[in-house]
Structure 1
Amino acid sequence: MPEAMLEIRDLHAYYGESHVLHGVTLSVPAGEVVTLLGRNGAGKTTTLRSIMGIVPRAEGSIRLQGKELLGLAPFRIGRLGIGFVPEERGIFASLDVEENLMLPPQVQPGGLSVAEIFELFPNLKERLRSQGTRLSGGEQQMLAIARILRTGARLLLLDEPTEGLAPVIIQQIGRVIRTLKEKGFTVLLVEQNFRFAATLADRHYVMEDGQVVDMIPNDQLAARMDQLHERLGV
């Protein structure tokens, strides 16, 4: 396995009295696409939110290239080079595409230029002056991903990027993720669409009840489909 960019060890997370993550351990190697698979409520989104420091309470260890993240403020975690695209996308409705795109600060050198972003997402160039409220769901998702590529983040956390989107948009997002991997980005992807994830990922972590219960390298998927069907109900 290549050197890990992200290492999570024995992670526990809580919302009030609810103990949501129960000792999650996983590794995201640099330059790979890694998926978190699992039914609704398995703890996938909470894992991403824990990495970003936006759960009320977390214990254990989350290390980015050896640096401990637990206990850091969310804005400090972002400045270390992690970009988070939440499931709700977070597009500012009153701002147009260009204003949304330029809003986040650059946190590291090496972010994509606006020209490179428009190569990845030509739709956004056409909609540059459109307000966030006028974008389709697919265009909002593209903008949410594009926005963090400018910042210089090298680890991308994508929460359900294909949810509710048309097949042609899902294909486009798949092409973008492959291109980003070729450019050296590392991606941790939460995805309900298992067939989409299978075309992209190097390895899959399966979560149940707030725990990682399996890790399947992509080249072993075919041999372990029965297990996955059972665990995921797909």
Structure 2
Amino acid sequence: MAALTLEAINAYYGKAHIVRNVSFSLGSGEIVGIVGRNGVGKTTLLRSVMKLVPTVLGKVTLKGRDISTEATDRRVRGGLGYMPQGMRVFGDLSVEENYRVSAYAVRMPMALEEILSLVPELRDLLKRPAGRLSGGQQQLVSLMRCLASNCSVLLMDEPTEGLMPKMVERIADVANSLRGRGMSIILVEQNLALAEAVCDRGYIMEKGAVEAEGDFKSLRESGEFERLLGLGHNAKEKEIR
């Protein structure tokens, strides 16, 4: 059984048709990457899965259960987690309080100690206001909040944006650890080196639709990066400009 299946997802903001007929499945313990130029609908696709877009057509199935008509909070309680783009923390609350806010929203949250085994950097920061941490530390707090919901499928929207290389490596390490625990991840990422390193396969979006798919090595060697992302056939660029 697939962890998550999207069937003919179309998303609209008013009359603007942003996501066009996107369909794919995500297996248990699989990381799938979604890449593309800015503005092609990657973030809107994730928000559509979470029912955060005004109009979404199509079918979303979570662990065999049709959740297409369910509200966002029910999707979260059912096992969907969403790590939005940017530093999303409650700045005036402590790191531990940020965890508690998310943990209280579900019946069976992931234990704080279990999360700290994945992000031990936060152990000595639990009493500090999250807003006073570095950008990288805040991103780990944002990830902590997602994990608190004990999700089985995690949607990550450009989690390494603006981070130093060392923190990018940590995000990759944590993603791999979560996969080892059976969690499924959809990763929207501008850092192609990271996406290629951690993703089992990927999709390239253009104008709201999936234009190419496969493992990242094949996508690079086939010339799809050059055609759809503007990168050379043997490009070494780490990011999509």
Q: Could you tell me the TM-score, scaled by structure 2's length?
A: 0.90
Percent of aligned positions that are identical = 38
Partner Cα distance (1:194, 1:219) in 2 = 11
Contact 1:13/1:55 (8 A) holds in 2: yes
Contact 2:5/2:24 (8 A) holds in 1: yes
- Structure 1 equivalent of residue 106 of structure 2: 107
Aligned-pair distance for 1:108?
5.8
- Structure 2 equivalent of residue 227 of structure 1: 224
Unaligned ranges ≥5, structure 1: none
Aligned-pair distance for 1:131?
0.9
- State the one-letter code of the partner of 2:100: M
- Structure 2 equivalent of residue 122 of structure 1: 120
1:159-198 correspondence to structure 2 within 5 Å: 159-198=157-196
1:124-143 correspondence to structure 2 within 5 Å: 124-143=122-141
Contact 1:203/1:217 (8 A) holds in 2: yes
Aligned-pair distance for 1:119?
2.2
1:1-234 correspondence to structure 2 within 5 Å: 3-104=1-102, 105=104, 107=106, 109=108, 111-218=109-216, 220-221=218-219, 223-224=221-222, 226-234=223-231
Deviation track 1:188-228 (CA, whole Å, cap 9, x = no partner) reads 1100111110000011011100001111124634533x221
Deviation track 1:51-88 (CA, whole Å, cap 9, x = no partner) reads 10110001111111222222211111111101101003
Partner Cα distance (2:150, 2:97) in 1 = 18
The two structures, once aligned, show a CA RMSD in angstroms of: 1.6
- State the one-letter code of the partner of 1:142: L
Contact 1:108/1:153 (8 A) holds in 2: no
Bigger Cα displacement from structure 2, 172-181 vs 86-95: 86-95
Q: Could you tell me the TM-score, scaled by structure 1's length?
A: 0.93
Contact 2:88/2:139 (8 A) holds in 1: no
Partner Cα distance (1:139, 1:233) in 2 = 32
Unaligned ranges ≥5, structure 2: 232-241
Contact 1:80/1:107 (8 A) holds in 2: no
Aligned partner of residue 90 in structure 2, secondary structure: coil
Contact 1:156/1:187 (8 A) holds in 2: yes
Partner Cα distance (1:222, 1:194) in 2 = 10
Partner Cα distance (2:214, 2:106) in 1 = 33
Deviation track 1:135-179 (CA, whole Å, cap 9, x = no partner) reads 111111111111221222110000000000000000011101001
Partner Cα distance (1:233, 1:191) in 2 = 16
Runs of 4+ in 1 over 4 A off after TM superposition: none
Deviation track 1:73-128 (CA, whole Å, cap 9, x = no partner) reads 1111111101101003420111010100111136364x542222222212211211
- Structure 1 equivalent of residue 237 of structure 2: none
